[in-house]
Amino acid sequence: MSLVALGASDVAGGFKSWRMWWMLAKNDVVRRYRRSRIGQWWLTLSMAAMIGGMSLVYSGLFNTPMADYLPYLGTGLVLWGLVSSVIIDCCLSFTEAENIMRQIALPRFTYLLRTIGRNLLVFGHNLVLLPIMYFLSGSPVNWYVLLFIPSLLLVLANLAWAGYMLAILSARFRDIPQIIQSVVQVAFFISPVIYKASQLRIDHPLLVWNPFASMLDVMRAPLLGQMPSLWSYGMLAALLVVGWLTTLAFAGKYSHRVVYWL
Amino acid sequence: MASVVLEQASVDLAIFNSRGRALKSEILRRTIGGDLRDERDRSVQVVRALDQISFEAHDGDRIGLIGSNGAGKTTLLRVLSRVYPPTSGRAVVDGRVSTLIDLSMGMDTDATGYENIVMRGIMLGLDATEAKAITADVEEFSELGDYLSLPIRTYSSGMMLRLAFAVSTVVQPDILILDEIIGVGDARFKDRAEKRVQNMISNASIVFIASHDNGAIRRFCNRTLWLKGGKLMMDGAPDEVFAAYNPEEHTPAE
């Protein structure tokens, strides 16, 4: 079997074990907020506090009206929360499941799906803030919003291959999660989360060659009533193909060794 | 029909110290560090836990594993439960495998007994309905009664083991793997537990038992594998293997 086929069968097996990773993902979220007053709605509350605080400060600094800036920043922060936490958490997908991995044999991708599932649940809790924000600021919502789901799936499919590769590497090299945390932190500031993409000239390299900018664009624009740029879709589609081919081959070769690195 | 086939299966375990685990060290080593001729990473030691093991097991085999500590029994059990893919050679394990090595794997201490039963059920490969269906069986066997509605962090270690044992033994596997015959709980529970394990052993297609208790092996097994230093020294009927093993292990070396 070729390496890519081996990797692909592991990924398929991961999806088949959905009962296992879905249960673990739900339990991960519930467990964090057991015995607290409002349970997992603390996630939403803390995100709301951050959005509120930041938009007050930065709308003043940038001299933009709140009604315009609040929905932009709020959507950006919620989306960034998903992207950054998936990348950072996926690094630890195998190391956190060490106990289970040494007892039962499951396709390796199962643990990635658990991490992504868990972060999607958290994302779902934060998503409820968006309609509230749009209502408060009178933000337009039109038919473009239908593009959100396909865009979300495209972004998740990209995060999945990156996460899988990072998870394997992080099981072997234990300083990678720290490195990734720093990279993501830098990415937060250089990507158009806080600042508007329109504040830079349209062909600025930070917007053109930055995959994070593309991810934000395809998900945020539909929610704010705009059409995402075709360049963003193109970039993500290209990354999807190249990324998955590389990761499947890499996983085909190395995913069996992961349990020995734990 | 369950079957197990091992062909020259070996397991090499790499022992990493903290330097061997850092990407920074790896990059330095490959670029500027050390002698250019020295390809091996000296911060990684390799232990050959299993050395070219070959054997086959079929329906009806009850196989005992014997050997001194560190001989590779647990590593072989992990290969048989598909957790450790061999680093060279082949291991083909067909059938549903159940290992009763770590009974409390994956238990969430803040969740209630009932919630943990469903979780473990799913880990054993059941779907949600089946997982809920085993609850009655586990309730009845563990005899924990109302305590099952409490989070398991409130349990004593004995109660925890009873629950873990009850859940681990509720599904009948094709291939059963045991590391020592388990004896848990108070005397009464111990009796019922032993009966339950014996039941699982008789109903399984293939059984592997790693044990230092020769009596247990004579009782349950029709075949014995003797491991020493990762190598398979002998594969035969229990009495034959004991005859070869015992004199060796009891030579006054200490």
Residue B127: list chain A partners with CB under 8 A: 19
3-state secondary structure of A52: helix
Across the range B219-244, mean pLDDT stands at: 90
| Mean of the per-residue pLDDT values of chain B | 84
Per-residue model confidence as pLDDT tens digits over B25-35: 777 777 765 55
Query: What is the ipTM metric for this complex?
Result: 0.82
> Residue B100 to residues A46, A217, B63: CA-CA distances in angstroms?
43, 51, 15
At residue A13 the predicted structure's pLDDT band, cuts being 50, 70 and 90, is very high
Q: Is B101 on the interface with A (CB under 8 A)?
A: yes
Alpha carbon of residue A128 to chain centroid: 17
pLDDT at B184: 61
Q: Which of B59-68, B178-187, B211-220, B224-233 is predicted least confidently? A: B178-187
Per-residue model confidence as pLDDT tens digits over A187-220: 999 999 998 888 888 788 888 899 999 999 999 9
Task: Chain A: give the shortest CA distance to residue B23, in Å.
Answer: 5
- Name which of A217, A193, A211 is nearest A87 in CA terms: A211
**CB-based contact B53:B234 (threshold 8 Å):** no
pLDDT at A190: 92
The encoded tokens of residue A58 equal 């930065």
User: Is pTM beyond 0.80 here?
Assistant: yes
Per-residue model confidence as pLDDT tens digits over A163-178: 999 999 999 999 999 9
Residues A99, B78: C-beta atoms closer than 8 Å? no
Q: Among B41, B99, B123, pick the best mutation site for testing chain A contact (most A Cβ within 10 A).
A: B123
pLDDT for A234 beyond 60 = yes
pLDDT for A85 beyond 90 = yes
pLDDT at B106: 73
**Which A-chain residues 1-60 have CB contacts (< 8 A) with chain B?**
19-20, 23, 27, 31, 34-35
**CB-based contact A83:A214 (threshold 8 Å):** no
The encoded tokens of residue A31 equal 């467990």
Question: How many beta-carbon pairs under 8 angstroms link A with B?
Answer: 65
Across the interface, of A20, A34, A101, the residue whose CB is closest to B122 is: A20
pLDDT for A20 beyond 50 = yes
Instruction: Work out the percent of chain A whose per-residue pLDDT is above 70.
Output: 100
At residue A35 the predicted structure's pLDDT band, cuts being 50, 70 and 90, is confident
- The CA-CA-CA angle for residues A58, A64, A65, to 5°, reads 105
Q: Minimal Cα distance from B25: which residue of A?
A: A173
At residue A150 the predicted structure's pLDDT band, cuts being 50, 70 and 90, is very high
At residue B254 the predicted structure's pLDDT band, cuts being 50, 70 and 90, is very low
Residues B83, A105: C-beta atoms closer than 8 Å? yes
More confident residue, A74 or B123: A74
Residue B123: list chain A partners with CB under 8 A: 20, 100, 104
Q: Which of A2-11, A23-32, A39-48 is predicted least confidently? A: A39-48
- The CA-CA-CA angle for residues B2, B6, B7, to 5°, reads 145
Cα–Cα distance, B28 to B15 (Å, whole number): 20
Q: Is B129 on the interface with A (CB under 8 A)?
A: no
Per-residue model confidence as pLDDT tens digits over A119-129: 999 999 899 99
| Mean of the per-residue pLDDT values of chain A | 91
Across the interface, of A19, A174, A261, the residue whose CB is closest to B122 is: A19
- Name which of B210, B206, B214 is nearest B244 in CA terms: B214
Q: Which of A258-262, B53-57, B112-116, B179-183 is predicted least confidently? A: B179-183
Across the range B149-176, mean pLDDT stands at: 88
pLDDT for B98 beyond 60 = yes
